[in-house]
Amino acid sequence: MKKRVLALLLLVCMLCSSLLTGCVNAGTGGSEQTEDNYAATDALDAMQHVNTQELNIIDDNYRNVYEIFPYSFCDSNGDKIGDIQGIISKLDYIKDLGFNAIWITPVHPSPTYHKYDVTDYYDIDSSFGTIADYEQLIKECHDRGIDIYMDLVLNHTSNSHSWFQEASRYVRSLLPGEEPSAEECPYVEYYNFSKEQKSGWSKVGSEWYYECQFWSGMPDLNLDSEAVRKEIDNIVSFWLDKGVDGFRLDAVTSYYTGNNEKNIEFLTWLNKCIKDKKADAYIVGECWADCVTYSNYYESGVDSFFNFDFATNSGTIATILRGGNASTYGSKIVSTFDLIKAKNENAIDAGFTSNHDNGRVAGTLPGAKGKLKMAQAMAMMIGGSYYLYYGDEIGMKGSGDDENKRAPMQWVADPFGQGMCKGCTTKVIEHTNGTVESQQADKNSLYYYVQQAVKLRNTFPEIARGETTVIEECSNEEVVVLKKTYNGDELLIVMNISENVNTVDLSGVSVNGKETGDFKVVGTLLDTAEMVKKDGSTLEMPGYSIEFLK
């Protein structure tokens, strides 16, 4: 009898427990979880507790792009030089971070480590691999939903390129008073030759000079030549047929040095050349200039140009994180998009913090590691595509000589460990923020912060594609509040861009017509396990935190 009573009591308890659990789940299930009263163990735990919304990845040209400098990225064969098979071995790593496109700096045959002086546009440098390796890379990328962008260097070739070798040999053979003829040597019109010595020109033969604005090893191409444009047309076709998804255009302001109008004319031709072959091909240009200048380049129809105003050690992001006014971040986004959209309504901004030509952001922002996290988040929240330079997800350092900005990817602490490259640095760089291996073991790391931030870009299309409005009455020197609107949906982003705790009162702010009390927290980015506290219309935000509300 006692056993039967105990059994009935146990059954009743189980039913009550089931009912109670059902009520709790009905009210708070999955995406309804909040930060209230949750004691997180670390930053990753805190972010994962809130960032539970389903991914909403749109297959268009708004992407999260991972930049790879192949020489220093990952070695697969033990020669300490990064290669294509090494990149293939790390595609899952890139995908796990949330990136859905890669830009690889030049991989064509070249006498230098950086490969920006091409000797053959139709091949792969043997130190990196083969055409077959590159074809495998394209397939492996596409199997993972990753687009691949090829670096296209059209301002110049190497002086070892067969075109220049033939042209310079011919020019040296000319007798005094003779003029070069394309009928005698077709390649002589591929470059710019003159008897007049000018700035950025080097001597060839007894009385001739050739244009080489970067250095003598990089002779400038004559982009007015129909023969050169035909070559470019063939090069583009060759790689599009292989399956590349787009191109990064090197040094577009140098196509015609000092002549923006001619540069835009050439880019207009090139954009049409590429899009006629593949309508959805993506093109991003390096127009190293201020926004007022590069906005004009959008008249060419090119999809994107890198946003240098926000990046580098003198840009908006670094300036604010070194003590500038947070609210200027929002106003600068609005003014930037006003400029570029006026030139091309389909423009896709290309935000970043550092690249292979700039000092890394970790050296730019010494001090609190929260600054490094916030720097990447600020680049992601601008809108458009987001570019991360390999190693910035773990806070690698490097400045000064170009070689130092292209240090070996820090996979592990052992410089002879698996995948490690010798790099090309001119000095020993102390990477004080750890390796991929050590940061994956630290749930408060920059690595996991970047992963969560990219996840939110992949969850809320408003971040990349939305029109930005600054909620000025809630923004100040340390806090900026943005509203992103896309396809009728609105997302509120509240950013505490400081190490201080800030209280933000959102009274009177509406999202999709609803007042603050109806807002739901749908995402968060945090420096530590300390979470944002929401009380009605008020947020208490720890240092370097971001809250996403709908």
Which residues participate in catalysis according to the annotation?
Answer: 250, 286
Half-sphere exposure of 491 toward its Cβ, with a 13 Å CA cutoff?
25
Residue 192 per-residue DSSP state: -
CA dihedral 317, 64, 129, 358 (to 10 degrees): -10
Inter-residue contact 61 to 73 (CB < 8 Å) = no
Q: Is 455 helix (H, G, I), strand (E, B) or coil?
A: helix
In our burial notation (b when 16+ CB lie closer than 10 A, e otherwise), range 470-497 reads: bbeebbeebbbbbbbbbeeebbbbbbbb
Inter-residue contact 219 to 191 (CB < 8 Å) = yes
For residue 402, how many other CB atoms are within 10 A of its CB? Answer: 15
- 486 to 53, 218, 305, 441, 509: CA distances (angstroms): 17, 45, 22, 37, 18
Inter-residue contact 277 to 311 (CB < 8 Å) = no
| 369/527 Cα distance (integer angstroms) | 8
Inter-residue contact 156 to 212 (CB < 8 Å) = yes
Closest among 498, 497, 396 to 447, alpha carbons compared:
396
What is the widest separation between alpha-carbon atoms in the chain? 122
Closest among 122, 125, 153 to 234, alpha carbons compared:
122
Q: Which two tokens stand for residue 315?
A: 């840009």
Residue with tokens 């009455």: 473
Give me the phi and psi of 479, to 5 degrees please.
-130, 140
CA angle 162, 164, 170 (to 5 degrees): 105
Output the CA torsion sign for 359, 365, 370, 375.
negative
